[in-house]
Amino acid sequence: MNDLTTYLDTRGLPDRLTGGARRIPIDTPAGRHFVWTKRIGNNPSLKVLLLHGGPGSTHEYLEAFDSFLPSAGIEYYYYDQLGSGNSDQPDATELWHLDRFVDEVEQVRRALGLTPQNFVLYGQSWGGLLAMEYALTHPGQLLGLVISNMMASAPAYTTYAESVLAPQIDQAVLAEIRALEAAGDTDNPRYLELLMPNHYERHVLRLPASEWPDPVQRGFGHINPAIYVPMQGPSELGMSREARLAHWDRVSDLERITVPTLVMGAEHDTMDPDHLREMARLLPHGHYHHCPHGSHLAIYDDQEVYFSGLLDFLTGLARSPGSE
């Protein structure tokens, strides 16, 4: 485990003895490891598993859910994916592949006892990509799906970043950013110094960095680059061509996701809102919810609009015949 050593090894103990937290065993090609989950609330007919972004981020920035879902009577689960946060962090690069993460989600679902009558999968950013892939791989396990701030095509995302977002940056600044990326020097403090006002504060969270909420600060501080870089690449303006996810594209497969699906986007997002609208159109039971003042983390910078749409969708699922 990492520096969060105050967590007890709760494997095998019931939720009532661990404050809702559990460490779930996951079998991988590199042996058995444990991932951390935490249940909030109790609703037998509606259980939402939250997939955080990254890859390699943590559940922490999703703590905004605590201000909205409990009062609506919705049960939900925080979950740090393997390699992240409170979960085991093995030094095993062969584990950081999409198919293995999909298998991990399925093992977590089974361990938590989530069923097609009550299981809703929510994914934000990379978590949305993972959620789409899970829905295509295990189509019979879901009551509903939420894809938040994630396009269905990595190449389309990179094109949007390069053709729409990057040109909004002062060209001298952009040249310096690209030079640091080309030199493999993205750990240089100057890289973040350039990106923060020119990209992050415009398209990731539209607040001055000094005002970013504590859960966001903690989440960013705990990103695991050993996962993020090989899967996404070091660049923050699109995926690197050599990244493992660089060619991922499921646009033509969206028609195979037949459960009710909410696609969530924002006007100032890193993800193209027009692409997200088209995703909702292609999904057989898709709905689009737009946050006009939000960015990639509309969960914070257009919070009331974001959660009103999410709660409308979730409570609608709870009333549907399939949730009985």
Tell me if residue 287 falls in helix, strand or coil.
strand
Cα–Cα distance, 293 to 306 (Å, whole number): 10
Per the CB < 8 A criterion, the answer to whether 53 and 124 are in contact is yes
Given 33, 59, 275, 296, the catalytic residue: 296
Instruction: Judge whether 9 counts as a catalytic residue.
Output: no
Strand partners, 76: 40, 48
Instruction: Judge whether 296 counts as a catalytic residue.
Output: yes
Instruction: Judge whether 269 counts as a catalytic residue.
Output: yes
Given 88, 269, 272, 302, the catalytic residue: 269
Given 125, 148, 295, 323, the catalytic residue: 125
User: Which of these, 286, 273, 32, 24, lies nearest to 135 by C-alpha position?
Assistant: 286
Cα–Cα distance, 35 to 176 (Å, whole number): 39
**What DSSP string describes 214-268?**
HHHHHHHHT--HHHHHHHH-S-SSS--TTSTTTT-B-GGGGGG--S-EEEEEETT
Residues known to be catalytic: 125, 269, 296
